[in-house]
Amino acid sequence: MKIILLGPPGAGKGTQAKRLEENRKMVQLSTGDMLRAAVAAGTDVGKKAKEIMDAGQLVDDETMIGIISDRLDEPDLENGFILDGFPRTEAQAIALDTLLDVKDMKLDAVIEMRVDDEALTERIVGRYTCGSCGQGYHDTFQKPEVDGTCDKCGSQEFSRRADDNAETVKSRLEAYHAQTAPILPYYKDKEMLKGVDGMADIDEVTAQIEKILSA
C-alpha cells in the first residue's frame, strides 16, 4: 500500500504512520522528520530550513520535491509507504504524480485526517518524543505506562520540537489552510480522497484507517 496522510499540524499523521509501520511494515516518509534530521546534521538543506520551520512556514517546493524524489529511490519500500507531511502545496502534489509515474509506482489512497483547529494547539503543545526510538507521546493523551520511561525502548530521554509552541502553531495552521488544504480537491477529483474523524481517540482513528486500507 502507498498512501498519503493529509491533515493539519497535530492531526495525528505521525502517530498513525508509526502504527502502520508496526502493523503493516509500511515505511513512514515524514518530510518534517527528514528536515529535522538535516537541521540536526547541519547540512545545507538543514541550515536553510531551520529558520523557515521555526517560523512555521513552508520550505520551498524544489527542495522538498528533491528530498522525496531521492527517498523514493531507496530500496526499503517494498511493503509500501505512508507519505506524512508531503505533498503540502499544489506544486508538490503535481510533482509527486510525475515522480510516481516515472518510478512506476501508484498511490492507493489519500486519507484526510479532520481535526478542529481548537484541538490542535493543545495536542501540539503537549507533545514530546522519545529521544532514542522516536516514539511519540503526549502530556495528557498518550502517556508512557511508566512515567518518564519510553514504553518501546526504555529510554528516559525525551525531546520537544522547537516549533511546538503556541505562537508557531498559529503560523503552521495558517500555512495549512492557505497552502495545503487547497490540494484536497485535487485528490477528490481523482476520486482518491478518503476521510477519517481525527477527533476520535487514537485507537479509533487507527481502526478507521485500517477499514479504508482493507476495503
C-alpha cell of residue 78:
517494498
Interface stretch with Zn ion, choices 44-52, 62-70, 144-152, 199-207 (CB under 5 A): 144-152
Q: Is residue 143 flagged as an active site residue? A: no
Task: Describe the chain by its helix, strand, coil percentages, rounded to 5.
Answer: 50, 15, 35
**Interface with ligand AP5 by CB under 6 A: which range of 27-35, 37-45, 70-78, 149-157?**
27-35
Of residues 92-111, which lie at the interface with ligand AP5 (CB under 6 A)? 92
The SS3 assignment for 207 reads helix
| Residue 13 bears catalytic tag | yes
Is the distance from CB of 204 to CB of 16 less than 8 angstroms?
no
Question: Is 2 part of the annotated catalytic residue set?
Answer: no
Active site residue 24: no
Q: How far is the CB of 185 from ligand AP5 (least distance, A)?
A: 18
Residue from 10, 14, 87, 198 touching Mg ion (CB under 5 A): that is 14
- Respond yes or no: is residue 88 known to be catalytic: yes
First to last CA, the chain: 12
The DSSP output letter for 59 is P
The residues annotated with a catalytic role in the active site are: 13, 88, 127, 161, 172
